C-alpha cells in the first residue's frame, strides 16, 4: 500500500487527556479502502481511547481527522455515522431490553407514512441480514439480553453492515466469543474487506488479529510505537513492539518508539 | 428452505410442550399480565365474600373505576420514568399545584375576564394546566439530564417545592366551586356518558380489536413471518370483545340515584313510574379519559420512535447514547410528558372533589409508583407496560376500597397496602428468576 491512494481515514497528531493523564499523545494512524489494520497494545495503551475519538464517543483535545482526504468534524456518534463510520464495541453496546430488529435500527428506525415504527419491515430486513450473517439465528422476537455472546455479537455486526458502513471499527471483536464464532467473524471480515470496507481491529491479543490484518499499528503508553505490514514482520517482532516498544527494521517507527537504539 | 426448517423446528418444539404451554405460546398472551388479572379476581371475589356481596355490585365497580382514574393516568407516565431508571417523587405535588392553579383560574380569574359560566372557561383552565404541568416536568427533566442531578433528588425537591407553592397560591384557602363543564371530568351522574353512548364506545372498541388482529395478521403475511393459529386469533378476539362488552354491561346497570333521577324526570316532564326511573350511568368521563390516555401512551411507548428510545435507554444507556440517540432530550421529554399527565390527573381529581385544596394529591406519588411497580415495571430499568401499570393502579384501588367496604381502620389499611406492595414485587422477582 503506497501513498498514491487517498487513505479512507487519516488521524493526525491526535491527543486527548483525562485529568492530566495523556491517554493518547500525538498519535497518527491511517486506513485504506479494503484494508484491515490491527491496532495493538496492552490494556491501557490508549488504543480504545484513540478509536473512540474516531467513533465520536470522545472529543479530541488536538489533532485532525481526515476522511477521504477531507477534514472531518466528528463531535458525537451521530457525526461519525454520517461519515460511514460504524463501531462494534468491546462491551457489545446493544440495547438489552429490545429485540434484534430494534437494535439493528436503533437511532435510524424505519417508519410508516404515518410516522409510526414500521416493525414488520424492520424485522423483515433484519431476518435477511441476520440470515446472511448467522443462518442459525432464529430468536427475532426476544430481547437481546436473552441471547448468547456470539448471537449478540452477530447482532452488533449486522447493525454495522446494515447501514453500509465504509469504515468499521471492531473493538476486541472476538473477546466474548467461542472458537467457532471467532472463525465466523473472521470469515465475515474477509467478506467485508472484499466489499472495500476499511476495518480497524483493536485487540490486546496479537493472535486474535494477526492473520486477519494487512497492517498493524502498535500503541504503548498513549503513543504510537510504529506501523508495519504483517507480511514484513513476525508475530514475535510485533510482540516486541507491544511489550518493549522496540521497532523492527521493516516497520515505520512512531513517536512512541524506543529511543535508545 | 429456511421456512420449512423453521416450521419443522417449531412443530418439534410444540410437540414436546404440554397443552397449557402450547396454548400460551400460540396466543402470545403475557402470562405475567394474566397473573395480575388472576390476583385482581382473587381480591375482588375475596372482598365480595367478606363484605357480604357488596363488592361485586355495579355501583361499587363503577365507583372503583372512577377512583382509579387519577392514579391510573399518572401511572402510565411513571412507567416511562421508571423504565429509564429514573423516579418521580413529585407527581402528587405537581398534581396539587396544577390543580390549584386550574381551580383559581376557573373560579376566580377567568370569570372576571370572560364572565361567569362562560363556555370557554373549562378548556382554557385545562389547557393552562396541561402547559404548566409540562413546563414543570420539563424543568425537572432538564435539571436531571443536563445538570446531572439524580432524579430522586430533583423530584424529592419538587415534592417539597410544589407542595409549598400550592399553599402560596391562595395562602392555604380551598378554592371552590369548579366550572360546571370542567366538573364533568370528575364523573358523577352528570359526568357519565349514559347507556347508548357507552354501547357505542363498546362497539367501537370491539371493531378496533378485530381491526388490530386482522391488520397484524396481514402484516405478518406480507413478509411471510410465522403466524398465530387461526383458533388463537378467534379466541383472542372473542375474549377481548367479551371483556369490553361485559364492562359496558356492568356500568350500564348502575342507575342514577332516585333523588337525581326524580329531579331529572320533573325537569324533563317525564312521568314518574311506580318502580322508579332506571337511568344508567354508563362509562364515567374520568374513566374514559384514563382509557384514552392509556391507549395513547401505549401507542407512544410501542409504536413511536420516542417510545423505542425510552426502552433502549432504560436497558443500556451507554448503548443508546452510542447509537446516536439524544438521550438527554429523551429524558426531558419523558418528564414533560409525566408533568402533563399529572395535569390531567389534577383535572380529574379537582373536578371530582369540585374544589382545589392544599392537600390534593398527597401520597399520590407513592400510589403511582406502587401501581407501576405492581404492574410489572422493573426498577432496574428497561421493562414495563402501560397496561400493566393501569392494572396495578386498579389492584391498589381495589384493595383500598375493599377494605373500606369491609370496615377496616385507616391505619390498618396502610399496613396492608404497604405489605402487598412488598409481597407483589417479591413474587415478581421470583417469577422473573424462574422465567430465565
Task: For residues B149 and B212, give the distance between their C-alpha atoms in angstroms, rounded to a whole number.
Answer: 42
Indicate if B370 and B413 belong to the same structural domain: yes
Q: Which residues pair with A196 in a beta bridge?
A: none
Q: Give residue A112's pLDDT.
A: 87
Phi, psi (deg, nearest 5) at residue A170: -120, 115
HSE of B45 in the Cβ direction (CA atoms, 13 Å)? 6
B234 and B306 part of one domain: no
Query: Distance between CA atoms of B419 and B405, rounded to whole angstroms?
Result: 19
Same domain flag for B343 and B360:
yes
- pLDDT > 90 in chain B, percent: 63
Q: What is the pTM of this model?
A: 0.83
Q: Would B15 be classed as within a structural domain?
A: no
**CATH, residue B371:** 1.10.3470
Q: Are residues B120 and B171 in the same domain?
A: yes
Distance CA A22, CA B290 (A): 56
Q: Tell me whether residues A95 and B6 touch, CB distance under 8 A.
A: no
pLDDT reported for residue A1: 45
**Would you say residue B78 lies in a domain?**
yes
**Which residues are within 8 A (CB) of B118 and not within 5 positions of it... i.e. 6 or more apart?**
B110, B111
> For residue B105, which of B161, B186, B178, B191 has the smallest C-alpha distance?
B178
DSSP B107: I
Is residue B302 domain-shared with residue B367, that is, in the same domain?
yes
The domain boundary, picked from B211, B246, B281, lies at: B281
Instruction: Report residue A114 as a C-alpha cell.
Output: 404515518
- Which H/E stretch holds residue B42? helix B31-50
Assess whether B213 and B122 both reside in one domain: no
Tell me, yes or no, whether B164 and B227 share the same domain: no
Name B250's Cβ contacts closer than 8 Å, sequence gap at least 6. B58, B61, B62
Q: With an 8 Å Cβ cutoff, are B2 and A78 in contact?
A: no
Q: Is residue B199 within 8 Å of residue B205, measured between CB atoms?
A: no
Q: Which residues contact B71 (CB under 8 A, 6 or more apart)?
A: B345, B364, B367, B368, B371, B393, B396, B397
Q: How many CA atoms lie within 13 A of B425 on its CB side?
A: 15
Residue B7 falls within a domain, yes or no? no
The answer to whether residue B122 scores a pLDDT higher than 90 is: yes
Residues 6+ apart with CB under 8 A from B365: B88, B89, B90, B91, B92, B93, B159
Contacts of B219 in chain A (CB under 8 A): 120
Domain boundary among the residues B222, B249, B281 is at B281
- Tell me which residue of A18, A32, A82, A77 sits closest to A51, measured CA to CA: A77
Average pLDDT, chain B: 89
DSSP state of A144: G
Residue B7, classified by CB atoms within 10 Å of its CB into exposed (0-12), middle (13-18) or buried (19+), is exposed
How do A62-67 and A9-18 pair as beta strands?
antiparallel
Residue B87 has what pLDDT?
96
**Residue B6 sits at the chain A interface (C-beta within 8 Å):** yes
Q: Do B214 and B123 reside in the same domain of the chain?
A: no
Q: Who contacts A251 (Cβ-Cβ below 8 Å, separation ≥6)?
A: A226, A227, A228, A232, A233, A237, A241
What is the nearest CA distance from A117 to chain B, expressed in angstroms? Answer: 5
Across the A/B interface, how many CB contacts are shorter than 8 Å?
Answer: 84
Report how far Cα A128 is from the mean position of its chain's Cα atoms. Answer: 23
Could you give the domains of chain A? Answer: 1-84+165-176+187-261 (3.40.50.300), 96-164 (no CATH)
Instruction: Give the β-pairing of A36-40 and A21-31.
Output: unpaired
The total number of residues shown for chain A amounts to: 261
pLDDT at A260: 52
Same domain, B364 and B405: yes
One domain for residues B144 and B197 = no
Are the beta carbons of A36 and A187 closer than 8 angstroms?
Answer: no
Residue B201 lies in a domain: yes
Residues B295-338: pLDDT tens digits?
Answer: 999 999 999 999 999 999 988 888 888 788 899 999 999 999 99
Q: How confident is the model at residue B95 (pLDDT cuts 50, 70, 90)?
A: very high
CB of B99 closer than 8 Å to CB of B176: no
Q: What is the DSSP letter of A91?
A: T
Query: Which H/E stretch holds residue A86?
Result: strand A85-88
A94 with B319: Cβ contact below 8 A: yes
CB of A52 within 8 Å of a chain B CB? The answer is no
pLDDT at B357 over 90: yes
- Are residues B291 and B222 part of one domain? no
**A48-62, B17-31, B396-410: the lowest-pLDDT one:** B17-31
Instruction: Sort out which chain A residues have CB atoms less than 8 A from B316's CB and list them.
Output: 93-97
Strand partners, A117: A111
pLDDT band at B276 (very low <50, low <70, confident <90, very high): confident
Length of chain B equals 436
Give every CB contact of residue B34 below 8 A, 6+ residues apart in sequence.
none
The parts of chain A modelled with pLDDT lower than 50 are 1-2, 261
Angstrom distance (rounded) from CA B350 to CA B333: 25
The confidence score (pLDDT) of residue A131 equals 80
Cell of A17: 487527556
* Region label for A24, one of left (φ > 0), alpha (ψ between -120 and 50) or beta (otherwise): beta
Q: Are A124 and B223 in contact (CB < 8 Å)?
A: yes
* B11 within a domain of the structure (yes/no): no
Quote the cell numbers at residue B346.
389534577
Model pLDDT for residues B10-23, shown as the tens digit of each residue = 444 445 567 777 77
How far is residue A199 from each of residues A74, A226, B276, measured CA to CA in Å? 18, 18, 83
Helix (H) or strand (E) segment spanning residue A18: strand A9-18
Q: Is residue B5 part of a domain?
A: no
Per-residue pLDDT, A91:
64
Q: In this structure, what C-alpha cell is assigned to residue A184?
A: 465466523
Q: pLDDT class for B263, splitting at 50, 70, 90? A: confident
Check whether residue B211 and residue B303 sit in a common domain. Answer: no
Which of B251, B281, B311 terminates a domain? The answer is B281
- The secondary structure element, H or E, covering residue A39 is strand A36-40
Residue B376 lies in a domain: yes
Mean pLDDT of the region B280-300: 95
Residue B9 falls inside a structural domain: no
Whether residue B208 contacts residue B254, with contact meaning beta carbons closer than 8 Å, is answered with no
**Structural contact between residues B337 and B137, judged by C-beta atoms closer than 8 angstroms:** yes
Residue of A57, A107, A110, A129 to mutate, interface with B, max B Cβ within 10 Å:
A107
Least confident of A6-10, A17-21, B1-5, B286-290: B1-5
Pick A104 or B27 by higher pLDDT.
Answer: A104
Pairing mode, if any, of strands A62-67 and A223-229?
unpaired
* 353-412 in chain B: CB under 8 A from chain A: 381-383
Task: Give pLDDT, residue A261.
Answer: 47
Please report the pLDDT score of residue A4 as a whole number: 67
What confidence category does residue B1 fall into, taking pLDDT thresholds of 50, 70 and 90? very low
Rounded average pLDDT over B374-398: 90
Task: Report which of residues B45 and A89 the model is more confident about.
Answer: B45
- Spatial separation of the C-alpha atoms in residues B95 and B348, rounded to whole Å: 10
Which DSSP state fits B360? T
Domain that holds residue B322: 29-192+284-435
A122 to chain B, closest Cα gap in Å = 10
Split into its structural domains, chain B has a count of: 2
Output phi, psi for A215, to 5 deg.
-135, 160
Question: What is the CB neighbour count within 10 angstroms for residue B37?
Answer: 13
pLDDT tens for B132-180 read: 999 999 999 999 999 999 999 999 999 999 999 999 999 999 998 999 9
Tens of pLDDT, residues B220-253 = 888 777 778 888 889 999 999 999 999 999 999 9
CB of B19 less than 8 A from some CB of A? no
Which pLDDT score is estimated for B17? 64
What's the pLDDT at A159?
Answer: 84
CB contact under 8 A, A93 and B324: no
Q: Yes or no: say if B339 and B94 are a contact pair by the CB < 8 Å rule.
A: yes
Q: How close B346 gets to chain A, by Cα (Å)?
A: 30
> Which among A93, A97, A169 is the top mutation candidate for probing chain B, defined by the most B β-carbons within 10 Å of its own β-carbon?
A97
Give the contacts of B122 (CB within 8 A, at least 6 positions apart): B106, B179, B181, B182
Amino acid at each position: 500500500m503506497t501513498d498514491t491512494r487517498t487513505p479512507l481515514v487519516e488521524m493526525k497528531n491526535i491527543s486527548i487527556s483525562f485529568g492530566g493523564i495523556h491517554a493518547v499523545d500525538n498519535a497518527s494512524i491511517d486506513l485504506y479502502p479494503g484494508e484491515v489494520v490491527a491496532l495493538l497494545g496492552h490494556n491501557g495503551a490508549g488504543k480504545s481511547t484513540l478509536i473512540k475519538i474516531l467513533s465520536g464517543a470522545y472529543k479530541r483535545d488536538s489533532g485532525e481527522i481526515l476522511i477521504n482526504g477531507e477534514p472531518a468534524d466528528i463531535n458525537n456518534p451521530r457525526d461519525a455515522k454520517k461519515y460511514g463510520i460504524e463501531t462494534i464495541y468491546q462491551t457489545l453496546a446493544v440495547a438489552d431490553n429490545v429485540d434484534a430488529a430494534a437494535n439493528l435500527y436503533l437511532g435510524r428506525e424505519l417508519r410508516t407514512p404515518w410516522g409510526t415504527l414500521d416493525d414488520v419491515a424492520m424485522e423483515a430486513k433484519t431476518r435477511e441480514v441476520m440470515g446472511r450473517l448467522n443462518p442459525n439465528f432464529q430468536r427475532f422476537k426476544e430481547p437481546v439480553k436473552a441471547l448468547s455472546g456470539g448471537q449478540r455479537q452477530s447482532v452488533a455486526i449486522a447493525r454495522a453492515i446494515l447501514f453500509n458502513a465504509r469504515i468499521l471499527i471492531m473493538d476486541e471483536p472476538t473477546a466474548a466469543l467461542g472458537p467457532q464464532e471467532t472463525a465466523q467473524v473472521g470469515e465475515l471480515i474477509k467478506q467485508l474487506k472484499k466489499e472495500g470496507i476499511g476495518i480497524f481491529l483493536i485487540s490486546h491479543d496479537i493472535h486474535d488479529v494477526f492473520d486477519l490484518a494487512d497492517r498493524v499499528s502498535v500503541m504503548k503508553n498513549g503513543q504510537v510505537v510504529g506501523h508495519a505490514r504483517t507480511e514484513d514482520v513476525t508475530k514475535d517482532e510485533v510482540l516486541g513492539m507491544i511489550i518493549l516498544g522496540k521497532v523492527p527494521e521493516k516497520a515505520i517507527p512512531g513517536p512512541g518508539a524506543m529511543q535508545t537504539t | 428452505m429456511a421456512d420449512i426448517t423453521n416450521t419443522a423446528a417449531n412443530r418439534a418444539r410444540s410437540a414436546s410442550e404440554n397443552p397449557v404451554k402450547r396454548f400460551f405460546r400460540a396466543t402470545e398472551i403475557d402470562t405475567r399480565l394474566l397473573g395480575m388479572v388472576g390476583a385482581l379476581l382473587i381480591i375482588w371475589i375475596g372482598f365480595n365474600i367478606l363484605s357480604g356481596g357488596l363488592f361485586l355490585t355495579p355501583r361499587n365497580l363503577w365507583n372503583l373505576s372512577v377512583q382509579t382514574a387519577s392514579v391510573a393516568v399518572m401511572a402510565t407516565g411513571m412507567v416511562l420514568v421508571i423504565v429509564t431508571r429514573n423516579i418521580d417523587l413529585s407527581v402528587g405535588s405537581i398534581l396539587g399545584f396544577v390543580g390549584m392553579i386550574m381551580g383559581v383560574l376557573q373560579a376566580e380569574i377567568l370569570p372576571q375576564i370572560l364572565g361567569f359560566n362562560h363556555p370557554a372557561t373549562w378548556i382554557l383552565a385545562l389547557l393552562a394546566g396541561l402547559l404548566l404541568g409540562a413546563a414543570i416536568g420539563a424543568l425537572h427533566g432538564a435539571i436531571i439530564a443536563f445538570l446531572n442531578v439524580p432524579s430522586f433528588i430533583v423530584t424529592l425537591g419538587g415534592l417539597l417545592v410544589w407542595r409549598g407553592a400550592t399553599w402560596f397560591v391562595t395562602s392555604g384557602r380551598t378554592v371552590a366551586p369548579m366550572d360546571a363543564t370542567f366538573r364533568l371530568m370528575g364523573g358523577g351522574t352528570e359526568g357519565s356518558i349514559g347507556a347508548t353512548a357507552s354501547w357505542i364506545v363498546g362497539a367501537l372498541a370491539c371493531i378496533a380489536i378485530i381491526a388490530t388482529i386482522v391488520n397484524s395478521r396481514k402484516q405478518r403475511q406480507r413478509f411471510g413471518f410465522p403466524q398465530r393459529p387461526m383458533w388463537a386469533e378467534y379466541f383472542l378476539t372473542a375474549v377481548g370483545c367479551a371483556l369490553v362488552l361485559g364492562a359496558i354491561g356492568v356500568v350500564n346497570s348502575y342507575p342514577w340515584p332516585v333523588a337525581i333521577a326524580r329531579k331529572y324526570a320533573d325537569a324533563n316532564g317525564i312521568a314518574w313510574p311506580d318502580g322508579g326511573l332506571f337511568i344508567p350511568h354508563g362509562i364515567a368521563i374520568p374513566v374514559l379519559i384514563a382509557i384514552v390516555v392509556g391507549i395513547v401512551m401505549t401507542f407512544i411507548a410501542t409504536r413511536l420512535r420516542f417510545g423505542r428510545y425510552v426502552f433502549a435507554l432504560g436497558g443500556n444507556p451507554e448503548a443508546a447514547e452510542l447509537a446516536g440517540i439524544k438521550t438527554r432530550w429523551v429524558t426531558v421529554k419523558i418528564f414533560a410528558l409525566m408533568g402533563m399527565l399529572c395535569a390531567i390527573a389534577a383535572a380529574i381529581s379537582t373536578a371530582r372533589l369540585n374544589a382545589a385544596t392544599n392537600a390534593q394529591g398527597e401520597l399520590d406519588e407513592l400510589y403511582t409508583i406502587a401501581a407501576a411497580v405492581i404492574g410489572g415495571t422493573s426498577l432496574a430499568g428497561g421493562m414495563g407496560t402501560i397496561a400493566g401499570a393501569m392494572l396495578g393502579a386498579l389492584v391498589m384501588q381495589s384493595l383500598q376500597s375493599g377494605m373500606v367496604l369491609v370496615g377496616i381502620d385507616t391505619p390498618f389499611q396502610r399496613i396492608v397496602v404497604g405489605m402487598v406492595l412488598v409481597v407483589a414485587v417479591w413474587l415478581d422477582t421470583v417469577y422473573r428468576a424462574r422465567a430465565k
